[in-house]
Structure 1
Amino acid sequence: MSIRYKDAGEGDDALIAEINTTPLVDVMLVLLIIFLITIPVVNSSIAVSLPREPNQARETQVDNAIVTVDANGALYWFDAPLADRQALARQLVRIAVMSPQPELHIRADARASYEAVGQVVFSAQQLGIARIGFLTEPPAR
């Protein structure tokens, strides 16, 4: 006895030797639509046009106060060294009560720690000094 298979072209139940790609195409189209919808959400950012202006050098006024922070974190009021943070606070209190209030300019060494400069800014903010600026040098051309 032997088993006999029908030929491929025989009858209604003929074997189909092709891959059905319809489900694959359906899944791929759904994934494509999902990616097209989610990509703009991932890349969202607020587009702004920032001004392009060169820094303008301003002359320091006589009544502006200058605090210098050197590379080691030592503080100076103009050119006079300050013993500690309390000495800085005493100087800042003097200019905080003036009317009109002078600007506080901070000259910090590029190697100075962020903490030392941050403490000067924090002290000035606590005492109500409204105008704080940083003195820099223009880049070499």
Structure 2
Amino acid sequence: MAMSGGSDDGSPMMEMNMTPLIDVLLVLLIMFIITIPVATHAVNIDLPSPVNNPDTPDVEPIKNKIVLTQDGQILWNAQPISQGELVGNLQESLGFAVEPELQFEPEPLASYELAAEVLSIIKSSGVTKFGFVGNERYRQFSAE
């Protein structure tokens, strides 16, 4: 019987047998790979369907701009309003024949909590023409 590392005089082997260690590591690796959840995170975006109707004229829609200031104000087209007035303005804009575009631009130091509340109001209002503007200012990231 041939064994490596040991001699026939009964002295112990000086090398560790790596085969069982490698087997255990491979089994653990396979178990880890099987238990990893499948990436199911998705961002749902409702894209408008194209409408090719030659009877409709090209109408330039009105653009409303919401700005959040760093001192906690909500500006609707440069006029300060409350959250209740924001809801009313959004409902009124949905009543137009052509829905106006709604632009959202928070100032760099605006409250994140206020931005989340305003976005929640906008989402629950049913506005479909919505966009973030001014993001090009943050294209270059600089750690200060």
Query: TM-score, with normalisation over the residues of structure 2?
Result: 0.61
The whole-number CA distance in structure 2 between the counterparts of 1:131 and 1:40 is 43
The structural deviation recorded for 1:34 is: 2.6
> Is 1:68 aligned to 2:62, yes or no?
no
Equivalent residue, structure 1, for 2:132: 134
User: Where in structure 2 are the equivalents of 1:35-114 lying within 5 Å?
Assistant: 35-37=28-30, 63-82=62-81, 84-114=82-112
Deviation at 1:45, TM superposition (A): 7.9
* Number of aligned positions between the proteins: 112
CA distance in 1, matches of 2:129, 2:22: 58
Output the CA distance in 2 between the equivalents of 1:32 and 1:89.
59
TM superposition shift of 1:26: 3.2
Give the RMSD, CA atoms, in angstroms: 3.2
**Match for 1:30 among 23, 32, 40?**
23
What is the TM-score with the length of structure 1 in the denominator? 0.62
Give 2:21's aligned amino acid: M
Q: Structure 1 residues 131, 43: closer, same or farther in 2, change over 3 A?
A: same
Q: Which residue in the other structure is 1:53 paired with? A: none
SS in structure 1 opposite 2:67? Answer: strand
Structure 2 gaps of 5+ residues are 1-7, 40-59
Deviation for aligned residue 1:72 = 1.3
